[in-house]
Structures are given as C-alpha cells and as structure tokens.
Amino acid sequence: EDQVTQSPEALRLQEGESSSLNCSYTVSGLRGLFWYRQDPGKGPEFLFTLYSAGEEKEKERLKATLTKKESFLHITAPKPEDSATYLCAVRDGNKLVFGAGTILRVKS
C-alpha cells in the first residue's frame, strides 16, 4: 500500500530564514508527486507536480525537488504570507494518497 510521510509536523521560521520540508514516499511506480498549499478553512491549492527523480520546479520562493524516495519543498527567504499547511501526495491509480502535512508558521 502506498505510504506518504511528511516531516516535520510543524515548522516555525523567522522571516527570511530558509528551510526545507520533506515528503518521503513508498509507491510502486511513481506516476506523479504533488505538492499543495492549504490555508486555514480553505481547500488545498495546487502548487507542483513532479514525475521523475532529478526533476525540479519553482514558483516564487518555493522550489520542489524529487528523488527516488523523497521530495523536498525548499522555501527561500520566507515571508509571513507563506504561512500555511503544505501537503504532499502521490498518485495511486485514479486517486491521490496524501501525507498528514507540515504546518509552516513564518514570523516577522
């Protein structure tokens, strides 16, 4: 059965303090690893899809990378508005299997 584990559960950063979130997965034949951002009381917002080891994607202060066993979401010089829960998911057939998420808080 596919498994997705995210770490840390929660992360507190000062504004400008770069860091990384981890998503480790076990899946037979990866057909896509997805990152979402979720603000309190709202639905998840799609950020990135990665398909193969070595692939990288960027959007503003976020950069997602992928290896054969894990993905990292790097946050460079974060701002308070980057505070949210970041969710990772892998494709299993016609559905996504999600991790529990990392709650990020960026203080000014």
Partner 1 sequence: ETGVTQTPRHLVMGMTNKKSLKCEQHLGHNAMYWYKQSAKKPLELMFVYNFKEQTENNSVPSRFSPECPNSSHLFLHLHTLQPEDSALYLCASSQVGDRGNTIYFGEGSWLTVV
Q: What does the binding site for partner 1 look like in residue numbers (CB under 8 A)?
A: 4, 31-32, 34, 36, 41-46, 49, 51, 87, 89, 91, 94-101
Report the candidate in 7, 23, 20 with the shortest Cα–Cα distance to residue 90. Answer: 23
Closer to partner 1 at the Cβ: 37 or 78? 37
Query: What is the nearest approach in angstroms of partner 1 to the Cβ of residue 45?
Result: 8
Closer to partner 1 at the Cβ: 50 or 78? 50
Query: What is the nearest approach in angstroms of partner 1 to the Cβ of residue 25?
Result: 13
Closer to partner 1 at the Cβ: 44 or 78? 44
Q: Residue 14, Cβ neighbours under 10 Å: how many?
A: 9
Q: Residue 53, Cβ neighbours under 10 Å: how many?
A: 13
What b/e readout covers 66-82, taking b as 16+ CB neighbours within 10 angstroms? beeebbbbebeebeeeb
